A and B are shown apart, each in its own frame.
Chain A
Amino acid sequence: DAKTTQPPSMDCAEGRAANLPCNHSTISGNEYVYWYRQIHSQGPQYIIHGLKNNETNEMASLIITEDRKSSTLILPHATLRDTAVYYCIVRVSTPRRAGNMLTFGGGTRLMVKP
């Protein structure tokens, strides 16, 4: 699986958009970009994933550059409850790949401030 690089920490004002970058310059054509977050040592929580098109769900938007070497997770209106560690993970998502396990890096610690 491709390695990812994220800034170790970021701050964001409450109510503003939080933009979390991720570099994955060695990503392969069949590798997806996944985002998870971990709030205060709870179990990680799935946020969103994408292959090459931008994606949006009720939690966030995922913007993937055209060359797929980087992506940005956008929380449109950050709240205090969005304070967490955000993990960007790149992996193949095929049904027959044994396990489809996730490889976690250090993530970005997002602090949302009042």
Chain B
Amino acid sequence: NAGVTQTPKFQVLKTGQSMTLQCAQDMNHNSMYWYRQDPGMGLRLIYYSASEGTTDKGEVPNGYNVSRLNKREFSLRLESAAPSQTSVYFCASSDNRGSLRAEAFFGQGTRLTVV
């Protein structure tokens, strides 16, 4: 049981390049999330997907797009990377279909540097 798996773990991009961060969960969760964390700060929500087929903006969506490919996978795309997007990106998932616990499980993060 891998939980939430993110790829890649590290990435360096040049300004203007594009890339897609991949996230997959094997817990049959219906909701998935993308957060970013800048140095010394808390996590901020970029986009989320409450269920397969739906996506919504979070607190800081500008410069990003997402795709909920299927129930397992939720990808985050940077179309034209900027230095301000240098951050650690975390994917998370949770099951909100009736569990009062509804804890979120996080991946280990993708460390992205844009030069």
Interface size of B by CB at 8 A reads: 34
A84-110 with Cβ < 8 A to chain B? 87, 93, 95-107
In this complex, the member of A93, A99, A106 whose beta carbon has the largest number of chain B beta carbons within 10 angstroms is A99
The reply to whether B43 and A45 form a contact with Cβ atoms under 8 Å apart is no
Decide if A29 is an interface residue (CB 8 Å cutoff). no
Decide if B53 is an interface residue (CB 8 Å cutoff). no
Residues 77-109 of B, flagged 1 when their CB comes within 8 A of A and 0 if not, give 000000000001010101011111111111111
Nearest CB in chain B: distance from A104 CB, A: 4
CA distance A100 to B56 in the complex (A): 12
The reply to whether B45 and A43 form a contact with Cβ atoms under 8 Å apart is no
The reply to whether A46 and B97 form a contact with Cβ atoms under 8 Å apart is no
Which of B4, B45, B94, B101 makes the CB contact (< 8 A) with A103? B45
Q: Sorted from nearest, which 7 A-B pairs have the closest CB atoms? A: A43-B106, A104-B42, A46-B103, A104-B43, A99-B48, A98-B50, A99-B50
Please report A residues at the B interface, Cβ cutoff 8 Å: 34, 36, 41-46, 49, 87, 93, 95-107
Please report B residues at the A interface, Cβ cutoff 8 Å: 4, 31, 33, 35, 37, 41-45, 48-50, 56, 58-59, 88, 90, 92, 94, 96-109
